[in-house]
Amino acid sequence: MENLKRILRIRKKKKDAKAHVELGDMYYHGVWVSQDYTAARELYLKAAEQRNADAQVNLGVMYEEGKGVRKDLQQAIGWFRKAAEQGYVNAQNSLGVMYRSGEGIPKNVQQAIEWFRKAAKQGNSKAQFSLGYMYYRGEEVREDLQQAAIWVKKAAEQGEPAAQFNLGVMYTRGKGVRRDLQQAVKWYIKCAFTIILLLLSLLINLRG
């Protein structure tokens, strides 16, 4: 009964974008209501039209994955861009990924770097690693090992396992940083522990 009252209270807030997102999330995940992607999309759309960045990203994900709608990467990119231009960090990283891969959009490395940099400066570890790795490999940009080390280290310090491993490699080879085998071992161990914790979490969720 309390759950039903909660849903009804949210529904009454017809012009409240956050309420639309909350109710949309309930339909999207099937929490307290039957899962209904169509209902979720309609609610997200109402909120997105009010410039709610969470709703814009959620719509982007639905179009990217084809959940409740026909898969449409152009629509996904459009919604991600709206959120990214409002400073929504995950949308900025998503645009970077799509520009880098050329998925659903013409490949544009400079645009990828621009969006990764925006997200990285806001502390997104995945964007930080992507930016650092592109500089490390000289992936269609001028190789810059100092910039690579800066961004890879920031991502590693946030627990990004790929960044931790690659920082270990950089210390092993002395690329972008002074060669230091003790530091290399430290980051390899951190990477191993991070992966173990991720696997344990996955196993717990599977058993739960």
CA distance 74 to 150: 33
Hey, what amino acid is at 98? Answer: M
Identify the structural domains of the chain with CATH numbers, from first to last. 7-86 (1.25.40.10)
What pLDDT score does 3 carry?
59
pTM of this structure: 0.84
Sorted by sequence, the CB contacts under 8 Å of residue 66 that are 6+ apart come out as 72
What pLDDT score does 109 carry?
92
Hey, what amino acid is at 200? Answer: L
pLDDT tens sequence across 80-131: 999 999 999 999 999 999 999 998 889 999 999 999 999 999 999 999 999 9
Least confident of 26-35, 80-89, 183-192: 26-35
Least confident of 15-19, 35-39, 72-76, 148-152: 15-19
Other C-beta atoms within 10 Å of 189: how many?
12
pLDDT of 12 > 70? The answer is no
pLDDT of 1 > 50? The answer is no
Task: Give the mean pLDDT of 10-20.
Answer: 71
What pLDDT score does 138 carry?
92
